[in-house]
A and B are shown apart, each in its own frame.
Chain A
């Protein structure tokens, strides 16, 4: 066990006695990980890479960016044109934000499918939701900084939402703006907070991983395993190399965007300098915020829309208690599995209508999809916890599965054993 780790050098022992970094390192290397983890489990590592990449490129951009309404737009063009490799660092950062959210959505849906949010991992889940919230706030503020038309009007629309709060709404909005409209004070404070939040995220990520290391990873079969045992492998080198492989595949896709389609995920209106007198025809957030935008606009009442918007995120936090089914993995929950796919289609539909004008058939779809979204968490999941007849769950990872969808690797190992 890593607690009995002994440093190999005298200096190592001296240092480790004072700050047990070597013990920590040994713990991380030996950390018993289920050997049946599939590639959906590599996204935690990918996310850590994304966070560090955004921080490094962000700090470097901050050396050249000017956070003033008169100079923000042209300072970014200065980065794109004059700063050595500025165009590269900027495109890594802007596309990195999209990749960050792509990875986080896959990571979250992995948890939903395999029940990683269930006891005893509720705190990991809640920390993850807080990280997600901070990510959305960071991304929103970051998008304002180029001071294009979408930057300005997106900021205007979203900050205006807070005026829906009764009594204090208008004061809160003025307080957020630092003025009577989105203007320079708003920009400068968004720059400061955009720089700060990723470090808060970093702190929460450390807590998230720490909380994970207590019970250990969940696995595709969703059963508790003893660690260490023949069901586990040491994290290094088996999981490190698998994470590295997945990260490299991810980087190929990332590079495809950076080098060959760097603006495809963005909106052309943001290459027009912010103009408080001209509103763009369609104000849309970046793609990763579209489902929430759809939920917001589906409610005719302003306050109602704001409440539902926040509720749609907070409801996720309550998930471990809404879904109390004892079986974790959807592999053994045939009915839940179907509703899982329906949820994915629902979220994709919300994303699609979020980009459309809020009228006609788009609005109808948004409303239906919003109601379904809440129904999934508030009605379907609790009911399923009570009435679903789950499939039998294997006793260990190395043993075969009795029914349901067998993992091909497990079937192979079963065949080898017989």
Chain B
């Protein structure tokens, strides 16, 4: 009686150990097939872009391609900066202080993608002196914040920094 009980325990330990070890192997095998779809090292190497901004005049902006997406770099005039800083946060659908969206107040660096459904908004258009998205009528102000229209949040600020006074590194 006892002997067969012991035998059964040994047997089921053997089976359990096999199953467990097998499951570990299957998990380890699955991972590379999932991870291969993550960005490969050539994509990751292009994850940053350096932009020379020395030629941009006040009031003007340029659009650069970063990670396949448009980035607006605008050199704001003093009026535009003042306008952006004086807005009452309660009026904003997505309250954000202008000071929190820029590193140097003269330079606005943001992803030029409407947060509604992804179109590229047009510069110097719209009722708030900023950008206007023609797809569904979203209006953005001089800080790129949504003021009117269906977009839910302000245009995204990517990671960037000033390498020197004339060069911004995005990403």
Contact = CB atoms under 8 A, between A and B. Distances in A.
A178 B125 CA distance: 52
A88 B32 contact: yes
Interface of A: 56, 60, 63-64, 78, 81-86, 88-89
Interface of B: 32-33, 35-38, 40-43
7 contacts: A81-B41, A82-B43, A83-B40, A85-B35, A85-B36, A86-B40, A89-B33
A53 to B, nearest CB: 10
A82 B42 contact: yes
B42 A78 contact: yes
Closest 8 CB pairs of A and B: A85-B32, A82-B40, A82-B42, A83-B40, A84-B35, A82-B41, A84-B36, A85-B36
A385 to B, nearest CB: 46
Nearest to A57: B33
A83 B37 CA distance: 8
A84 B38 contact: yes
Given A78-B42, A82-B42, A56 B33 contact: yes
Contacts of B37: 63
A313 to B, nearest CB: 34
A84 B35 CA distance: 6
B32 A89 contact: yes
A78 B37 CA distance: 14
Contacts of B43: 82
A82 B35 CA distance: 12
A86 B42 contact: no
Contacts of A89: 32-33, 36
A243 to B, nearest CB: 14
Q: Which of B35, B36, B38, B41 has the most CB of A within 10 A?
A: B36
Given A81-B41, A82-B41, A86-B40, 13 more contacts: A56-B33, A63-B36, A63-B37, A64-B40, A78-B40, A82-B43, A83-B36, A84-B35, A84-B36, A84-B40, A85-B33, A85-B35, A89-B33
Contacts of A64: 36, 40
A84 B42 CA distance: 10
A81 B45 CA distance: 13
B36 A86 contact: yes
Contacts of B33: 56, 60, 85, 89
A64 B39 CA distance: 11
Contacts of B35: 84-85
A267 to B, nearest CB: 26
Contacts of A78: 40, 42
A68 to B, nearest CB: 18
Contacts of B41: 81-82, 84
Contacts of B36: 60, 63-64, 83-86, 89
B14 to A, nearest CB: 11
Contacts of B38: 84
A62 to B, nearest CB: 11
B52 to A, nearest CB: 28
B31 to A, nearest CB: 8
Contacts of A83: 36, 40
A276 B129 CA distance: 61
Nearest to B32: A85
